Structure 1
Amino acid sequence: MTTQEEFETAAQRAQQLPSKPSNTVLLQLYALFKQASEGDATGPQPGGFDFKAIAKYNAWHGLNGLSKDAARQQYVELVSELVG
Structure 2
Amino acid sequence: MMSLQEVIICLQFEKSVEGVKQLATQPNTDDLLEIYALYKQATIGNVNTASPGMFDIKGKSKWNAWNAKKDMTTEEAMQKYINKVQALATK
Tell me the TM-score range normalised by the shorter chain.
over 0.9
Aligned to 1:16: 22
Aligned mates of 1:8, 1:33 — CA distance in 2? 10
Aligned mates of 2:54, 2:61 — CA distance in 1? 12
RMSD of aligned residue pairs (Cα, Å): 1.0
Aligned to 2:4: none
Tell me, what secondary structure is at the counterpart of 1:19? Answer: coil
**CA distances 1:39-78 after superposition (whole Å, capped 9, x unpaired):** 0112310114111011000000000010010000000000
Q: Displacement, 1:22?
A: 0.8
| Bigger radius of gyration | 2
Residue 58 of structure 2 corresponds to residue 52 of structure 1: yes
Aligned mates of 1:43, 1:28 — CA distance in 2? 18
- Give the partner amino acid of 1:13: G
- Give the partner amino acid of 2:77: A
Identity %: 33
Structure 2 residues not aligned, in runs of 5+: 1-6
Aligned to 1:32: 38
Where has structure 1 moved over 2 Å in runs of 4 or more? none
Aligned mates of 1:80, 1:43 — CA distance in 2? 29
How many residues are treated as equivalent by the alignment? 84
Aligned mates of 1:19, 1:83 — CA distance in 2? 9
